[in-house]
Amino acid sequence: MSDILFVDDDQTMRNAIKIILNGNGLEIANCKEDAIRLLKEKNFDLLLTDLHLPKKSSGLSLVSEARELNEDMYIVVVTGFASIETAIEAIKFGADDYISKEFTPDSLRLSITKFLEAKTNKKKLKKLEAENLILRERIHESTSLIGNSPIMKEIKKKIDIIGKDNESTVVILGKSGTGKELAANEIHNSSNRNKFPFIPIDCPTIPKDLFEAELFGYERGGFTDAKARKLGRIELADKGTLFLDEIGDLPLAMQAKLLRFLETSEFYRIGGTKPIKVNVRVLSSTNRDLAQLVKDGLFREDLFYRLQVVVITMPELKERDGDIELLAQYFLNKNNLRKGKNLKLCINDIKKMVSHNWPGNVRELKNNIESFSVLGELPLNIEKKTKGNFKEAKQELIQDFEIEYFKKALSENDNNITQTAKKIGISREELSRKVKKLNLSL
């Protein structure tokens, strides 16, 4: 039996819930104060709370306080005003999920089962994360920039300083695949805005005629098909960060409106008559030459200077000495965990990667490691370039031969060291040393 707390000031709704959830360890509260008292007395598995409670105390404030009292409890906001904006707001305050009051008894019971299962999974995940903290930090779908090269250390230092500034606009330059969005995420996470949303907009993918609606939102009736109010990305990013990815592709007509917003922190929804003021930090990125776009009349000069208060240039992967192996191991660890494998990169694999030019930068490396995780070998388009004098080149070729030879021999003998050694005519001890030295997977 699970312990459930339901909070609603509507007597009819409370009676209905009692009937539907009879025998589920249910307790009822009709206001925030009663709910807080019960939450302090008992550890509930699930909290269901109406979004609108009496005495001007919002269900959202109850969500916030309830989360502080019980981190493991699953919290669901119940509201009659179903909208994505409401869901986002509830989750920002600490809710795990969202449900409309327009439910049937069977659909509610099904949802309760789903919520309780999610709560159990959440608790298991929390335990697993605690047991695997170091691994989790490495393989988490994180926003952290991986790299210890001198140039990346400088980038991280600059990002830390910029994050603490908390207000200035920043433009992040760099070729495709260098990690511009990761850098933007890092700036957001190192700022005081990190408890609020990071909202990205991929400028090239949004049709020109829809960009204003996507950015500023619209009122019901603002245009022919506007049947309900929609909040734009700027409004959803309030108190947080708005990231305009590839801003060089921003339609010229939108550039003036974006500039006005940057200058005033105010905007109008389409069809709206009152200005809306928000507190949003704007970050942007581009792989294009904005100065040249200004000369060509494709980008406003005043917006160009307004965006470039602070500039970060992300380096190409070939400039990041020592980071290729680190990144490859990072991506491989993630793929191994997701696919339930234990693949390793041998010395020859690492040499191939280090000698490759990586025109697609980190994204290309990530995709190649994904391919390695499936096929067990790096794609053929990665070719090793032999470097060094004759003696070094000779030793390199010998080592490459040994890697391929021993890998094939082990594979033919089911990775049995003793059997393989006997078959190829060397001692078991010598083969074990070779396997270790060449970092071969068994």
Residues 200 and 226 grouped into a single domain: yes
Q: Mapped to the 3 state alphabet, what secondary structure does 161-172 carry?
A: HHHHHCCCCEEE
Q: Specify the length of the chain in residues.
A: 442
Looking at residue 379, what is its pLDDT? 74
The listed range with the strongest mean pLDDT (79-83, 247-251, 408-412, 438-442) is 247-251
- Whether 198 maps to a domain, the answer reads yes
Contacts of 381 (CB under 8 A, 6+ apart): none
Tokens 């965990």 locate to 337
Answer whether residue 164 shows pLDDT above 50: yes
Answer whether residue 156 shows pLDDT above 80: yes
Residues 205 and 224 grouped into a single domain: yes
Looking at residue 304, what is its pLDDT? 95
Residues 179 and 71 grouped into a single domain: no
What is the pLDDT of the chain when averaged over all its residues? 84
Q: What percent of the chain has pLDDT over 70?
A: 88
Residue 157's CATH number: 3.40.50.300
Answer whether residue 332 shows pLDDT above 50: yes
Looking at residue 312, what is its pLDDT? 95
Q: Which domain holds residue 306?
A: 150-315
Residue 427's CATH number: 1.10.10.60
Residues 161 and 242 grouped into a single domain: yes
- Whether 194 maps to a domain, the answer reads yes
- Digit-coded pLDDT (tens) for 382-435: 544 445 567 766 777 787 778 878 888 888 888 888 888 888 888 888 888 888
Looking at residue 315, what is its pLDDT? 95
Here the tokens at position 158 are 């600059």
- Whether 142 maps to a domain, the answer reads no
CA distances from 207 to 215, 251, 304, 381 (A): 12, 9, 22, 35
Residue 120's CATH number: 3.40.50.2300
Residues 270 and 197 grouped into a single domain: yes
Q: How far apart are CA 156 and CA 163, in angstroms?
A: 10
Looking at residue 80, what is its pLDDT? 67
Here the tokens at position 218 are 């619209």
Looking at residue 10, what is its pLDDT? 86
Q: Taking every pair of C-alpha atoms in the chain, what is the biggest distance, in angstroms?
A: 88
Residues 272 and 406 grouped into a single domain: no
- Digit-coded pLDDT (tens) for 335-344: 888 888 888 8
Here the tokens at position 227 are 């049947």
- Digit-coded pLDDT (tens) for 34-58: 999 999 988 888 899 887 787 656 7
Residues 336 and 298 grouped into a single domain: no
- Whether 137 maps to a domain, the answer reads no
Number of domains in the chain: 4
Answer whether residue 24 shows pLDDT above 70: no
- Digit-coded pLDDT (tens) for 277-325: 999 999 999 999 999 999 999 999 999 999 989 999 999 999 998 899 9
Q: How many CB atoms lie within 10 A of CB 198?
A: 21
Split at pLDDT 50, 70, 90, the class of 84 is: low
Among the three residues 97, 131, 165, which one is the final residue of a domain in this structure? 131
Residues 48 and 8 grouped into a single domain: yes
Higher pLDDT pick, 220 / 84: 220
Residues 242 and 335 grouped into a single domain: no
Among 66, 123, 132, 119, which Cα is nearest to 94's?
Answer: 66
